[in-house]
Structure formats: C-alpha cells, structure tokens
Structure 1
Amino acid sequence: MKKKVAFVTGAGSGIGREIAIILGERDMNIIVADIDRANAEETVSILKQHGAEGVAVYCDVTTLESVKEAVSETLTHYDSIDVLVNNAGWDKVEPFLESNPSTWKRIVDINLMGQIHTCKEILPVMVENKNGKVINIASDSARVGSSGEAVYSAAKGGVVALTKTLAREMARHKINVNCIAPGPSDTPLFAEIGSYNQGITKALEKAIPFRRLAKPTDIANAVGYFASEDANYVTGQTLSVNGGLTMV
C-alpha cells in the first residue's frame, strides 16, 4: 500500500520534531516544514535514523504565498498530502498592558493565521482525494486562559473555533479535523518563556497532578492517535494533554 504523507509545520525542533518522528515510525512519509531550513534538514536526518523518509521544505506560515510554495514543492515529491499537523507556534509572555501591537501581530500571524493559511492550501488536496486528517495544535490557555498570554490565548482560542467549523464543513469529504491543547511542555519555547519567570517550572510541577511538564512525546502520541484509523469517527474535538493541570 502507498504510504501516507504528513505535512508537519514547525517540525524543525521541539514538539514538531517529535511529531515528525512518531508519524514516521507509523510508516508515513514526512514533509518537515519549517522557517529554519537547517533545523528541518536535521529532523530529516533523524527520521532516516529511525528508518523513515522525510523531505525538508521551507515554510513561513505567516504568509499565504510561502505556504503555497511549500505545498507546491511537496506535491513535486509526493502526489498527495494525507495528514496536516499545524504545529508551528510562538509566544512572548508578558502582562497584556505591557505588550505592544507588533507582538500581537506576530502572535496572531503565527498561531492563528498560519493554520488558516495551511488549511486553505492543503484542504483542497484532501477534498480531491476524499480523505484526510487535520490536527491543529492549540493550547490549554485557549480553554482556561493564562496570565501573561492574553493574545496567545485569544489566537489559540481561534484555533479551537476554526477546528470545529472546518470539522463540520469537511465531514462530507471524509476529512477529520481535530485539535490538541497541550499544557505546559518541556520545549525550547517554554525554556525561553521560563527565562522571564525563574520559578515558573517548579510552580507548575507542583500544580500538575503528574508532577511534571509534558514531554514532546506526550503531545506527539496524541497527534499519532488523531492521525490514525483509530480516530476515523472522531472530528471537531479538542483533546487536552496536560497531566491533569486543567480538567474541562
């Protein structure tokens, strides 16, 4: 049988890289889409070590033109995209009243518009194939809020709403659209956030019932479920992966 193709944004590092590895181990060919080409190539090398195949593609999700070019390049390597994982994200933690419009725009452009751009370009490919899985990465902050992350939480809330609406529109085409809402995770982005608040990691570990931050593999395994045939009858859902930090 022909291998499925997964397009993973922000796959050059952190959670995105782990998602690429997990899907590669599940016999998928991986498009490693990232704004950092060197990191993307490194992920491809790791995939090969795991016996999987991957292709590094430059993709700036904040611009529709860049996404179009990335999808076009993908279709020169493979004739379909079967799984889309919208993982690329960024945040700057600071009190809302101390934030500025340039930061708001970057947060919204990456976390919300980036997912809109990829869905706009890749869903038509899935519609033509009458099959596909979309997994959007949101955040638990979208569901319960998070101090210092007002605009990020708003953008991720938009991702949850986008997921539900696209799930309704795409169901007739046999396309599943679901969302994962990670809690605090041990990633390079969280390390950057932690530099603003040296005590945040210990405080969160005390608050999380499992007493640890999420590992990238925790999130990647949830993506693996939504991308699998086990989730064929699941759509429009938001799954929190947070060690019990919030229960909604």
Structure 2
Amino acid sequence: MSETPFTAVVTGTSSGIGRDIARRMLERGWRVVGLSWQPHDFEHANFESVEVDLLDEAATKRVADDIAARHAVSHVVHCAGLIWPNLLSDVKPEEIDGLTRLHVTSPMILSQAMLPKMRAAGFGRIVFISSRASMGAASRTAYSATKAAVHGMARTWAHELGPDGITVNVVAPGPILTDNFWGIIPKDSERQQRLAEQLPVRRLGTVEDVSRAVMFFAEPDAGYVTGQVLFVCGGSSLGGLSL
C-alpha cells in the first residue's frame, strides 16, 4: 500500500499529545481528521476539524459514520482523555460511566465505523493512548480502571484484526507535561519538581516523547507489532512513584 496519502482519525487534537500527533502526520503528507470537544486554533490544507463530545455516544456515532462515508480511513488514534481524580470514598458511579464512554466506548464506535474500508484495503493502524496509571495510582479509580480496560480491548482486537493487516497497539505515558497534568499538579511547582526527581530519568515527559512512540506504531512498516503496550513513562512503571 502506498505510504501517502494515508487518512488518520485522531481524537483530542486541539492540544497536547493529540495535536502533536496530528502535526507529525500532516508533515508527512497524511490527511488528518481531528476530533475535539473544543475548536482547533490551527489550519492545514490536509486537516479537517470536527467538534464532538466523545462522552456523547450518539454524537460520536453520527460523526464516525459521516467520516467513514467520506474517507477511506487508514489510522485511528485515540488520544482524548480526562482524569476526574477522587479517592475511593468519593468516587461516583457516573465517573466510571463517563470515563468508560470516553476511553473505551468512543474509540470502539470510531473503529467500528472505519473497519470495513480498512479490511478492504488490507491495512490499518489503531493506536490508543493509555496511561501508566493503568497499573494503579491513588485517587485514580475511574481513570485507572478505564485505561486498564483499553489494554484488554486492544489485545482482543489485535487477535481479531491481525489477519486483515490491521494492527492495534497502546502507548501508556507516565507523567507528561500537559494541561491534564497541570490540572492535578501546579505548573512549575515544588511538587512537580519532586515528582521529576523520583523518576529514573530524572525528568517529566513531553508530548513529543509520546507522539514519537505513537508514530512508530502508526508506521506502515510496523506490521509485525500488534497487541503491545509501550510504557513511555521515564521508568515510572518500574514502581516507587508517588504523585
């Protein structure tokens, strides 16, 4: 299959990791359909901006069906995510339900819509952004549970879709300097510095650290790698991290 032009659906492209992945794909001449709940502040001839609330299953389905009807999508990259931290005593059922819709159900709906044309082409790449918190982190019941669910779903899809030339992989970042991170830990604070000092690499991650890993899985030549979880976490998955 010719490398260009691929067409990728990328969620969470208005900022952070998703935005950088979209930029890297556009630089390679790929087409990108970027999904976000808020407007994008950049334009490109090969970029299509779609505003959608991925917590809304019906809205996600409408958008997915529309994109699938207009494009032969080769890549689905799910970056959109929320944390909603709470200790066990304060977790609400609606937090589990909401983050399940965002982290698990919405990429399922998007992938289901794109599958027929991927199968017809004999090629596809599905990449999830998960989290080191999938291994457990205090105050992350809803977040950790739904990110861990992504791992099981990806491995299941890898079994099912491998014969069709479609790979499914996961990138699981550790602490990354994004708005989501700074929503929990104050920017440039002593707490941020202390967290960096706990990591084996002695620094926090950047969006570029994560997007480079995503692009590896997205490559047309990465067809022998599927069902994998790559921790891009500065060594935090080794244990000993305290947020």
Q: TM-score, normalised by structure 1?
A: 0.88
> Once the two structures are superposed, what CA deviation does each residue of 1:170-202 show, in whole Å capped at 9, x if it has no partner?
01111000111010110111111125xx65422
1:136 paired with 2:128, answer yes
Counterpart for residue 174 of structure 2: 183
The one of 20, 40, 60 equivalent to 2:53 is 60
CA-CA distance at 1:147 after TM superposition: 0.8
Q: Partner of 2:175: helix, strand, or coil?
A: coil
The one of 6, 9, 22 equivalent to 1:7 is 9
Counterpart for residue 225 of structure 2: 234
**What is the number of equivalent residue pairs in this alignment?**
236
Q: Contact conserved, 2:68 with 2:113, CA < 8 A, in 1?
A: no
Q: Partner of 1:193: helix, strand, or coil?
A: coil
Distance in 1 of aligned mates of 2:89 and 2:194: 24
Structure 1, unaligned runs of 5 or more: none
1:219 paired with 2:206, answer no
Distance in 2 of aligned mates of 1:128 and 1:240: 32
Distance in 2 of aligned mates of 1:151 and 1:104: 5
1:160 paired with 2:151, answer yes
The AA in structure 2 aligned to 1:4 is F
Q: Percent identity?
A: 29
Counterpart for residue 100 of structure 2: 108
Higher helix content, 1 or 2:
1
Q: Contact conserved, 1:92 with 1:193, CA < 8 A, in 2?
A: no
1:17 paired with 2:19, answer yes
1:81 paired with 2:35, answer no
1:55 to 1:84, Cα distance in 2 relative to 1, 3 A: same
The two structures, once aligned, show a CA RMSD in angstroms of 2.0
Distance in 2 of aligned mates of 1:98 and 1:64: 26
Distance in 1 of aligned mates of 2:18 and 2:157: 22
Q: Partner of 2:221: helix, strand, or coil?
A: helix
Q: Partner of 1:194: helix, strand, or coil?
A: coil
Q: Partner of 1:231: helix, strand, or coil?
A: coil
CA-CA distance at 1:104 after TM superposition: 2.5
Structure 2, unaligned runs of 5 or more: none
CA-CA distance at 1:94 after TM superposition: 2.2
Q: TM-score, normalised by structure 2?
A: 0.89
Q: Partner of 2:138: helix, strand, or coil?
A: coil
The AA in structure 1 aligned to 2:121 is N
